[in-house]
Structure 1
Amino acid sequence: MPELGACLAYTPARPKLHQLNATAWLILELAEDQEMETLAAAFAARTAPQLSTAAARQTLEAGLADLLASGLVQRRDDADTLKEISA
């Protein structure tokens, strides 16, 4: 719902509707089939100059941990790659 500045995501495996903040929404958009280092570089580029590289990495790791815990993304079998499982 971009016109409202909100992102809603649904997890069918554990039925729940999630309202994402702008940071989680950005991470979700960038994460699809990305290795962690590629995702970190893309996130840092999108959040500069508001966040330093270190702050961007911390923000990304915290947001990604929340998205993984909610089931909105998961790690792929090739370990360091992520995939979106619901949106």
Structure 2
Amino acid sequence: MSIDPAATGVRSTDEIMIRSTDETVYNKNARLRVRPFWPWHAVMAYTPDKPALHWLNSHSWLVLELCEQATCADIAKAIAELLPDKAEQASEMTRSCLSDLEQKGLIDVTTRSVKSEPKKSVPERE
């Protein structure tokens, strides 16, 4: 059986075209000021761009600290590894927390383009 490369979008029978997709990444706001408050296992965050103080619990603080060019999946995976008893809820808790942190101006949300590597096609059979 022979495959027509033009019909499949394949440049040659040996290489599949590189595809790119965008993914959302999270970063801590560069102007954010954070002060831990150890007796409560919490942190106080100050946003100078929109002057306000925000109290973060230990989970929100952890998510904030993991926001270094990280995707939601990266952060949820790290939380699941650190807190195995919360592994099942990690993804939903992370999404909710990221939404809250973004709304408060504590994190910046950007997208980056990700290119997948070319893959070898399956050899043709006759």
TM-score by length of 1: 0.76
CA contact (8 A) 1:43 1:56 kept: yes
SS in 1 for 2:69: coil
Contact 2:37 2:43 in 1 (8 A): yes
Amino acid aligned to 1:46: L
Relative contact order, higher structure (CA 8 A, sep 6+) = 2
Aligned to 1:85: none
Distance 1:25 1:6 in 2: 7
Q: Which entry has the higher C-alpha Rg, 1 or 2?
A: 2
Match for residue 67 of structure 2 among 10, 25, 31: 31
Structure 1 vs Structure 2 CA RMSD: 1.7
State how 1:2-81 maps to structure 2 within 5 Å. Answer: 2-4=37-39, 5-49=41-85, 51-53=86-88, 55-78=89-112
Contact 2:63 2:98 in 1 (8 A): yes
Aligned residues: 77
1:6 and 1:19 in contact (8 A); partners too: yes
- 2:44–2:56: 8 Å Cα contact kept in structure 1? yes
Query: After the TM superposition, which segments of 4 or more aligned residues of structure 1 sit over 4 Å from their partners?
Result: none
Q: Which amino acid aligns with 2:108?
A: Q
Give percent identity, aligned residues only: 32
Alignment TM-score, normalising by the size of structure 2: 0.55
Unaligned segments of structure 1, at least 5 residues: 80-87
Which structure shows the higher helix fraction? 1
1:8 aligned counterpart, secondary structure: strand
Q: Which runs of 5+ in 2 are unaligned?
A: 1-35, 114-126
Q: Distance in 2 between matches of 1:27 and 1:36?
A: 10
